[in-house]
Structure 1
Amino acid sequence: MDEHHDEQLNHEHEEQTPMSTRQASVQLRDRSQTRRREQHRRMDAANQSLADALRITYKLLQAGMFVLVVLYLISGLQSINEGQRGIAVRLGKIVNRNLDPGFQWSWPYPIGEIVRVDEGSVELPIGTSFMPSLPGNERQESRAMEADIDSFSSSRQLNPERDGSNLTADLNIAHTQWRVYYRRSNHADFVSNILPQQENTMVRVAVERGVVQSVATIPIDELLKNSNESISARVREIAQQSLDKVDSGISIDRVVLARKSPPLSLMEQFTNVQSAAQNAGKSREEALLKREQTLNDIAGSASSVLIEQINEFERLTEIGDEKGAEARLAIIDRLLIGEPVEIDGRVISGQASGVVSELVNDATATASSRITRAIAEYQLFEAKQQQYEANPSLMIARDWSGAMSEFLNKDFVSSMMLPTGVQAEMLINNDPDILKEIERRKKEKQFNDAYEKRMDLFRRDLYKTQRGIQEKEE
């Protein structure tokens, strides 16, 4: 543009300049062009240097951008630890729900990311929500779980701002502590719907809701006495339903009732009642055990059947059914001696044992002994009768001699021999040793008779007592 302008000026100057000055103008123009060419050469070198510098800078910029892109892509390579699962997210959408432990690649933030979720079980203590306050106004769950029951406030008045409690079905107040074990079962739902900082709060609120509802359905005696498993299962069910409604992806594995107590101000009274109930239960168990042992000692496995038949026999006797009573008595007799009996379609045999069996055996043996003795006495009487008819004096002398020998052989009889034909007079009294022995044996016999009578009455009373218990239970 400058050259064109200079040519126009030179052309106008030539038209206006006389011929005499043309030579000088040519020389001036040549020098001006030379200067311009030098300036052009200088500008070209500067422009070339600038262009080279810009080209190098651009290449460096490209290299830097490439390095940044590579580093950006490499930053998407992340490590998932053991016990964790990864979820790949791209532009806010889940593209892979289950990434195994190890190195995994995903688009880096903000395009994408890998969210890590722990798989292991998590323990959540609930130690202060339903317990009185601890000294110092502290509400540390772990400290409350480990604290002794006496460490909590035992005031008769509960402040809802700091004291927790449960309301039972009979409108009593109770205190409980719980341990919750849960895990993240659905990782995608957990990441989508639960913020990490709200996880414990969500589980705690759900379990507390379950505790309030479950405890409100049972009286305090049932809460304190019965097993913890049923109420824990109910709490878990309600809490799990609450978590499932919000698609939390959390599964509660176990809820444990760690501690339960009545109001601490009434602890002593409740303890006394529980002790009395336990003692009563223990006494009842001991009585039932003794009952079973006594029944077994008396009649063995046939005791229950015998009691039923005896009760039925007494009922038939009271209503005047003689035939039915006789038939029932025959069944009882057959049971006592161990013969098979059919009762209500069942054949029962050989079950009687114990004292009943001994009494039956003793009675059988006594009857047999008396019969044998009576037969022997009858046979002896017949023999003596025949001897008497044949020779009465001989029989009388022999019987008198036998009776005299038996008398002299008694322990309390002392014999003294005197020579014949001598008249002697003796002044004697009773032997004191013999009298003592006679008295001792008499008392011993009375004692044995009384003992046997007491034992017989005792056995009869035991049988009547157990029968009475059986009637009451029926």
Structure 2
Amino acid sequence: MEREPQAPDAAGRALEEAVALAFRVLQLAMGVLVVLFLLSGLFRIGPHETGFVRRFGVLDPTPLGPGAHWGWPVVDEVVRVDRRPRRVVVRTFDLLRDAAAEVRGEAPRREGGLDPARDGYLISGDANLVHVALAARVSVRDPAQRSLVRAVDIEPVVAALLERAAVSAAAHRGIETLLGAGKTDFLADVKAELAAGLEAADLGLGVDQIDLERDLSPPPQVRAAFASVARAGQEADELRARAEAAAARRRSQGSVEAERRRSEARAAAERLAATASADRARFAALLPEWRAQRRTLRERLLSKTLTDAVDGLGEVFLVPEGDLRLRLERDVAELDRRLQEKVLAEEESAGEDEEER
């Protein structure tokens, strides 16, 4: 028998090999597509961002920190919340300023009345006008809540709330307080009002700080008058401060002087008490002798007193009672002898009188 040709079998095997190769290529392509599909779920959260995943339209409240993350493609939607602070400036209450004059450092000038269509202003509690530009720095407090309203442009909302807060805070103060020492309290009230407004708006934002973009100032038409009032107030404060300092110095000096005099008085009182106590003790010791021999004690005390009085003197003259006659001689030895004899005679006479008693 003749063998049949093998060509059809070879063609069949080639076809099978081609189909198998195509199938393997298709499998590889499908694997690559699956990998690419899964890789498409990779995303990155920036260093200043907080991320959230919305799956089938439902927000997952779990925050995602900075770095790489993965979510299901198509099914998950990534929501990024920028946590960087935002600065919103409000110039509604400021004067319209010329750029060239600003560069030259010139203050705006106005004559006549105020034009509300051109210049902004705040009304104080005492119905005066003041100009100011404010800046608010806000940041994200609740990233999850902020992600729900991320489509809302926060600058117009914050600006409107800041304007309302400034009007309310200024209405509770007089012009002197706003231009003087009450600026800090004014800014604190503006911050509190703005924070309350943002909380009521439920934007997930908070207030970090309120600054004066341009300081509070009176209208240009009355700037000189307000400057004079401010100078007068400063001079009054300086005079008051000097008067208080002088009063404090006087009080301090008076306290020192009073303490010194009290110390001297206490020392003098102590000395007087000590002297009185010593005299009392001495008199108490002499009392028995005084009662027993009064004249003798008197003469002895008199003699001691005279001796103490003339101690250290070169010459002593005793003047008797009655007429005084002075006899001046160069040699006084005879006079001294006579005086001594007289004193001895008086002492002997005093002793005899005491014995008779």
Pairwise CA RMSD of aligned residues? 4.1
Question: How many angstroms apart in 2 are the aligned matches of 1:256 and 1:395?
Answer: 106
Q: Give the alignment partner of residue 129 of structure 1, picking from 74, 92, 101.
A: 92
Question: How many angstroms apart in 1 are the aligned matches of 2:262 and 2:42?
Answer: 91
Other-structure match for 1:393: 326
Asked if 1:95 is matched to 2:60, the reply is yes
Other-structure match for 2:186: 231
Other-structure match for 1:265: 221
Other-structure match for 1:277: 233
The two structures have a TM-score, normalised by structure 1, of 0.48
Residue identity opposite 1:83 in structure 2? H
Residue identity opposite 1:277 in structure 2? G
How far does residue 167 in structure 1 lie from its aligned partner after superposition?
0.5
How far does residue 69 in structure 1 lie from its aligned partner after superposition?
5.6
Other-structure match for 1:421: none
How far does residue 193 in structure 1 lie from its aligned partner after superposition?
2.3
SS at match of 1:205: helix
Asked if 1:202 is matched to 2:166, the reply is no
Please, which runs of 5 or more residues in structure 1 have no aligned partner? 1-48, 139-143, 304-334, 341-348, 351-359, 361-378, 398-474
CA contact (8 A) 1:77 1:106 kept: yes
C-alpha spacing 1:155/1:133, structure 2 compared with 1 (3 Å):
farther
CA contact (8 A) 2:177 2:183 kept: no
The two structures have a TM-score, normalised by structure 2, of 0.63
Q: Give the alignment partner of residue 146 of structure 2, picking from 187, 190, 196.
A: 190
C-alpha spacing 1:287/1:275, structure 2 compared with 1 (3 Å):
same
Please, which runs of 5 or more residues in structure 2 have no aligned partner? 1-14, 269-308, 331-357
What does 1:162-173 align with in structure 2 at a 5 Å threshold? 162-173=118-129
How far does residue 72 in structure 1 lie from its aligned partner after superposition?
4.3
SS at match of 2:114: coil
Other-structure match for 2:71: 106
Residue identity opposite 1:245 in structure 2? A
- Higher Rg of the two aligned structures: 1
C-alpha spacing 1:77/1:270, structure 2 compared with 1 (3 Å):
same
C-alpha spacing 1:178/1:339, structure 2 compared with 1 (3 Å):
farther
What does 1:25-104 align with in structure 2 at a 5 Å threshold? 70-104=35-69
Partner deviation per Cα, 1:422-450 (whole Å, 9 max, x = no partner)? xxxxxxxxxxxxxxxxxxxxxxxxxxxxx
CA contact (8 A) 1:76 1:106 kept: yes
CA contact (8 A) 1:184 1:250 kept: yes
Q: Give the alignment partner of residue 242 of structure 2, picking from 265, 283, 286.
A: 286
How far does residue 151 in structure 1 lie from its aligned partner after superposition?
4.4
Question: How many angstroms apart in 2 are the aligned matches of 1:131 and 1:233?
Answer: 20
C-alpha spacing 1:157/1:192, structure 2 compared with 1 (3 Å):
farther
C-alpha spacing 1:159/1:91, structure 2 compared with 1 (3 Å):
farther
Q: Identity of counterpart residues, as a percentage?
A: 25
Other-structure match for 2:262: 337
Question: How many angstroms apart in 1 are the aligned matches of 2:28 and 2:116?
Answer: 67
Taking CA–CA contacts closer than 8 Å with sequence separation of 6 or more, which of the two structures ends up with the larger relative contact order?
Answer: 2
Q: Give the alignment partner of residue 248 of structure 1, picking from 197, 203, 207.
A: 203
